[in-house]
């Protein structure tokens, strides 16, 4: 498994060499810098959490940089929520170190968390109060938020997540999707530099997922760095710039998404004249699937010219790319929450 990850150049702590300051202050010395491009926003070293004999998170080195939308992918039970909880100081790590916005956690919790918006699995609230009152109380309970514009900020956050018109309805009468939206609104209250979201689209319908995706893209365009966990490959593929994949507690891939989706070097050709194409490209056809051929060792422009010159009709021609799903499924084992009979 790890050899394949290495072959992809995508093992944890992958090197992206372009300039920028290494995470030299605080946790990591320049020689051991986890982050070499951009400013480090989340950096962990050997982060581990054990519950008795179970290693829920196994020595992970996260490297999230300013401006990333980082997708933290993992099957059920792979350790996503446990990692998020450790980042936010909600549970103590068994071993390892964490730096958030350049500061050591949990030591700097009081200074760092006001700049971080967070949504963790099953956001809590007072069921008998409205969403708005919950947010007003939440904002008032933490340090550093201005009281003067509290109401306006709460209304803006509710509008952002599509709950602007929900009125006085108590949270206990909210649907699952509405509770999730309220949790997101809570994360947005203080215009955070960094959003840490544990499965933000959990419980939302396709329209809701699309709305939240647009909201996150909007926040990102306005300078917010986003770290989100998900078990949905498609969600991460559509939204994220950088990906980390967790498999039973281990970070088996950490890479820019574009690097994982690099062309494989093969060309996909679809043609209704399959027999003619095969005989023309003899020796280069690696695989046939219906009217689709996988061709290797040819330049796409030359291949196209060759086919067209011989009167072979081409309905599609392009570089083959690996999907994130292929990469992840090849590298990961079965879902960690499968419980087999003994
Ligand atoms: N408080 C706890 N006590 C004991 N085991 C725990 C505790 N919290 C989590 N675990 C275990 O740690 C492992 C990782 O759980 P975690 O909730 O972090 O996974 P996850 O990736 O968030 O899963 P999901 O996608 O289902 O939310 C699981 O095996 C889980 O049973
Ligand atoms: Mg979880």
pLDDT of amino acid 8: 25
Mutation choice for ligand 1 from 49, 53, 79, CB with most ligand atoms inside 8 A: 79
pLDDT of amino acid 166: 86
Which protein residue's CA is at the shortest distance from atom 25 of ligand 1?
A: 76
Residues 6+ apart with CB under 8 A from 76: 231, 335, 336, 337
pLDDT of amino acid 171: 95
Mutation choice for ligand 1 from 49, 56, 76, 84, CB with most ligand atoms inside 8 A: 56
Q: Which atom of ligand 1 is nearest to the CA of 198?
A: 22
Tokens 């003899």 appear where? 282
Q: Which long-range contacts (CB under 8 A, 24 or more apart) does 254-260 make?
A: 254/10, 254/11, 254/12, 254/13, 254/14, 254/61, 254/62, 254/63, 255/8, 255/9, 255/10, 255/14, 256/16, 257/71, 257/324, 259/8, 259/9, 259/10, 259/14, 260/8, 260/10, 260/322, 260/324, 260/327
Whether residue 171 contacts residue 131, with contact meaning beta carbons closer than 8 Å, is answered with yes
Which protein residue's CA is at the shortest distance from atom 24 of ligand 1?
A: 76
pLDDT of amino acid 339: 57
**Integer-rounded Cα radius of gyration of the chain:** 24
Tokens 């020689």 appear where? 31
Which protein residue's CA is at the shortest distance from atom 5 of ligand 1?
A: 51
Q: How far is the CA of 248 from the centre of ligand 2 (A)?
A: 12
Site residues for ligand 1, CB cut-off 6 Å? 51, 54, 56, 74, 76-82, 121, 231
Cite the DSSP H helix spans in 113-263: 131-141, 150-160, 176-188, 206-221, 233-239, 257-260
Region(s) of the chain under CATH 3.40.50.300: 2-257
What is the distance between the alpha carbons of residues 329 and 147, in angstroms, rounded to a whole number?
49
Letter string b/e over residues 278-297, b meaning 16 or more CB atoms within 10 A of that residue's CB? eebbeebbeeeeeeebbbee
Q: How far is the CA of 121 from the centre of ligand 2 (A)?
A: 6
Q: How far is the CA of 266 from the centre of ligand 2 (A)?
A: 37
**Kindly report the CA angle at 202 between 200 and 208, in degrees rounded to 5?**
80
Segment-wise mean pLDDT, segments of 10 residues, the chain, 342 residues: 30 36 43 56 98 97 97 94 96 97 93 92 89 92 82 93 90 91 92 94 88 91 95 90 95 92 89 92 90 88 91 93 82 61 59
What is the distance between the alpha carbons of residues 255 and 243, in angstroms, rounded to a whole number?
6
What is the distance between the alpha carbons of residues 334 and 263, in angstroms, rounded to a whole number?
27
Whether residue 254 contacts residue 241, with contact meaning beta carbons closer than 8 Å, is answered with no
**Does domain 2-257 bear CATH number 3.30.590.10?**
no
Mutation choice for ligand 1 from 60, 76, 80, 231, CB with most ligand atoms inside 8 A: 80
pLDDT of amino acid 342: 56
Region(s) of the chain under CATH 3.30.70.100: 263-321
pLDDT of amino acid 281: 87
pLDDT of amino acid 142: 75
Q: How far is the CA of 221 from the centre of ligand 2 (A)?
A: 27
Q: Which ligand has an atom closest to residue 57 CA?
A: 1
Point out which residues pair with 225 in neighbouring strands: 194
Q: Which atom of ligand 1 is nearest to the CA of 78?
A: 21
The SS3 call for residue 285 is strand
Give, in order, the Cα–Cα distances in Å from 248 to each of 174, 217, 252, 278: 33, 29, 10, 44
Q: How far is the CA of 175 from the centre of ligand 2 (A)?
A: 20
Q: How far is the CA of 82 from the centre of ligand 1 (A)?
A: 6
Q: How far is the CA of 297 from the centre of ligand 2 (A)?
A: 44
Q: Which long-range contacts (CB under 8 A, 24 or more apart) does 156-164 make?
A: 157/185, 157/186, 157/188, 157/189, 158/131, 158/132, 158/185, 160/185, 160/188, 160/215, 161/185, 161/188, 161/212, 161/215, 162/208, 162/211, 163/131
Q: How far is the CA of 37 from the centre of ligand 1 (A)?
A: 32
Q: Which atom of ligand 1 is nearest to the CA of 74?
A: 21
Q: Domain 263-321, what fold?
A: Alpha-Beta Plaits (3.30.70)
pTM comes to 0.80
Q: Which ligand has an atom closest to residue 86 CA?
A: 1
């Amino acid at each position: 498994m790890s050899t394949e990850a290495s072959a992809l150049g995508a093992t944890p702590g992958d090197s992206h060499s372009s300039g920028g300051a290494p995470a030299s202050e605080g946790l990591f010395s320049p020689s051991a810098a986890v982050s070499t491009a951009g400013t480090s926003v989340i950096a962990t070293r050997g982060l581990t959490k054990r519950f008795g004999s179970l290693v829920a998170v196994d020595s992970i080195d996260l490297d999230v940089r300013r401006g990333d939308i980082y997708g933290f992918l993992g099957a059920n039970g792979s350790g996503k929520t446990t990692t998020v909880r450790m980042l936010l100081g909600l549970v103590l790590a068994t071993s390892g170190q964490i730096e958030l916005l350049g500061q050591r956690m949990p030591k700097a919790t009081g200074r760092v968390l006001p700049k971080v918006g967070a949504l963790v699995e099953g956001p809590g609230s007072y069921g008998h109060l409205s969403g708005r009152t919950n947010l007003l109380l939440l904002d008032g309970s933490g340090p550093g938020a201005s009281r003067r514009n509290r109401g306006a900020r709460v209304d803006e956050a509710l509008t952002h997540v599509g709950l602007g018109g929900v009125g006085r309805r108590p949270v206990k009468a909210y649907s699952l999707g509405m509770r999730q939206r309220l949790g997101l609104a809570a994360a947005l209250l203080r215009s955070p530099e960094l959003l840490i979201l544990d499965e933000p689209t959990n419980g939302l319908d396709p329209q809701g997922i699309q709305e939240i995706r647009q909201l996150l893209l909007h926040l990102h365009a306005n300078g917010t760095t986003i770290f989100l966990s998900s078990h949905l490959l498609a969600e991460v593929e559509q939204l994220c710039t950088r990906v980390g994949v967790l498999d039973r507690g281990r970070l088996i891939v950490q890479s820019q998404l574009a690097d994982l989706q690099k062309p494989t070097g093969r060309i996909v050709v679809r043609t209704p004249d399959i027999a003619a194409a095969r005989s023309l490209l003899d020796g280069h056809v690696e695989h046939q699937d219906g009217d689709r051929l996988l061709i290797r060792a040819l330049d796409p422009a030359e291949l196209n010219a060759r086919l067209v010159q011989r009167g072979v009709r081409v309905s599609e021609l392009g570089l083959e790319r690996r999907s994130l799903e292929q990469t992840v499924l090849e590298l990961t084992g079965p879902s960690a929450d499968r419980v087999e009979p003994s």
